Amino acid sequence: MHTAFPCLLFATTLAAAGNTLAAGEVQVNWIGVEQYSDIGRATYERNHTMNRLTAHLQGLGRHLPNGQILTIDVLDLDLAGTLRQRPTGELRVLRGGADWPRISLRYTLQATGRTVAAGEEHLSDLDYLAHVRQGDLAYEKQMLERWFVKTFDTP
């Protein structure tokens, strides 16, 4: 049985130069998390990963036209690097080999109640270490940003 973990943001707004611009809505559902390749081992790691990536995707909703609703079902996740056990705890090691980030997702974009785009994607970044990034889940976020811009033709 698959469990869905919905994470929703209903309307993202931007304030720019005193004007408020409405943006699209992004809804993220985490489907079958217990079957994911690598989302973290402990419950708090899994929740942290889901919350951070959900917030990132919802933030990208600012690029969608007002009134559009993008629903993303995350089907699998394999974070960059591999976990190694150390005497002081686990450590994620990034080697640039077969440890690249991967995300499988299904999406539907709706406008005025009609589906305008839909599909299933298997994202990966084999050359992830060539992109200098810092921060929490940086490689996964960058991969999602590239997919978003390419798929929805946003700046």
What's the Cα-to-Cα distance from 118 to each of 24, 114, 121, rounded to whole Å?
16, 11, 10
| Mean residue pLDDT across the chain | 83
Q: Is residue 92 classed as helix, strand or coil in its secondary structure?
A: strand
pLDDT digits (tens, 9 = 90+) for 67-103: 999 999 999 999 987 767 777 766 676 676 778 889 9
Which amino acid would we find at residue 139? Y
**In the predicted model, what is the mean pLDDT of residues 127-141?**
82
Instruction: Give this prediction's pTM.
Output: 0.79
CB 27 within 8 A of CB 57: no
Which amino acid would we find at residue 107? Y
Q: Considering Cα of 149, then 6, then 71, then 119, what sign does the dihedral take?
A: positive
Distance CA 126, CA 99 (A): 8
pLDDT of 20 above 70: no
- DSSP character for 88? T
The reported pLDDT for the residue numbered 85 is 72
